[in-house]
Copies of this chain bind each other. A is one copy, B any other.
Amino acid sequence: MRIGLDVMGGDFAPDAIIEGAVDSLQHLHADDTLVLIGDQNAICSKLSDMQVDSSLFEIIHTSQVIEMGDHPAKAFSQKKDSSIAVGYIMLKSNTLDGFCSAGNTGAMLVGASYTVNVIPGVLRPALAVVLPRVDNRRSVILDVGLNPDCKADILLQYGILGSIFAKCVLEVENPTVGLLNIGEEETKGTSAVKMAYELMKEHPGLNFIGNIEGNLLFQETMPDVVVCDGFAGNVILKLGESFHQIYKQRGLKDSYFDQLDFESIGGTPIVGINANVVIGHGISKSKAIMNMVIRTREVAQANLAQKIKESI
């Protein structure tokens, strides 16, 4: 696998990104290549400070940086030699199997839609997040922020995309799919969710288990795929962050709750585009970057984008 990492993106770039890249090496396979995309001088100087051999990486020099505050579309089209733009060009030309960045999210989404493009047949790409359940198995929730307003047909397709994700990335056979709602009964919820229930119930390709409520999240009984609009999904993700922060602040210690921070989660894959791309949190430090690289490799290894293309 050839995994591209944007070294210039994120609040603590490039140092924390390079540290995370070094830490991630031990989790990659011997024949993997981690491609660092960014300012070559900064990369080499940091690696030299860390006494790490730069030949462990492939380095692609870029001369421009899309800053966190830049206008996404404008910056993406104007800064053609930025790490994000170059990463997408490499994805498009198949010189990378996956690409990740903790940089300007908007610019990452612009690249997703306009360079590698949405897979034909996909109504709307989604951001997915993989979460550990208390029984140490994993579930995927989508969407967690791209589409706050979701009509029923989009929710149905998230069920399909999520099932493909769970099959090929989480390696779950016949993954269960639940629709997030405020009650178990099919008459509950918003009009979009009620209609989505009908569509999902009838869809032969889904192992649909019905509505699930918020109190099933993270539990052993959580389905493998949780479908929701980007509003609810985003609230779930960020509320988890809040709980985790309070948990740490109160000095609690537990092997399960320790994994529930964004640094362990590492990043959110974009599902439904013609490439394997993972977006990290802007405040990522080395641990989060390491996990983002691991997640990107996992998605690339599963060849998620290709699997979706074949199934949709």
Which residues of the partner chain B approach A235 to less than 8 Å between Cβ atoms? 180, 182, 214, 232, 235-236
Q: Shortest beta-carbon distance, A28 to chain B, in Å? A: 31
In the bound complex, CA of A271 to CA of B234 (Å): 27
* Chain A interface, >50% SS class: helix
What residues of B have a CB within 8 angstroms of the CB of A134 in the complex? 246, 249-250
Q: How many residues of A contact B (CB 8 A)?
A: 40
Minimal Cβ-Cβ distance residue in B for A241: B215
Residues of B close to A190: CB separation below 8 A = 148-149, 231
- A220 to chain B: closest CB distance in Å? 10
Asked if residues B250 and A215 are in contact (CB atoms below 8 Å), the reply is no
Q: Which of A6-14, A54-62, A251-259, A299-307 contacts B (4 or more CB under 8 A)?
A: A251-259
Q: Is A45 an interface residue (CB 8 A)?
A: no
Within 8 A of B (CB), among A238-273: 238-243, 245-247, 249-250, 252, 254, 256-257
Q: Knowing A182-B145, A254-B250 touch, does A214 contact B231 (C-beta < 8 A)?
A: no
Question: Which B residue's beta carbon lies closest to that of A149?
Answer: B190
Establish whether residues B246 and A219, one from each chain, have CB atoms under 8 Å apart when the complex forms: yes
Also in contact, A219 and B193, with CB within 8 A (given A214-B236, A214-B237, A256-B250): no
Instruction: Identify A234's interface contact among B191, B214, B254, B257, CB under 8 A.
Output: B214
7 closest residue pairs by CB, A with B: A214-B238, A182-B234, A215-B238, A214-B239, A214-B235, A215-B241, A148-B190
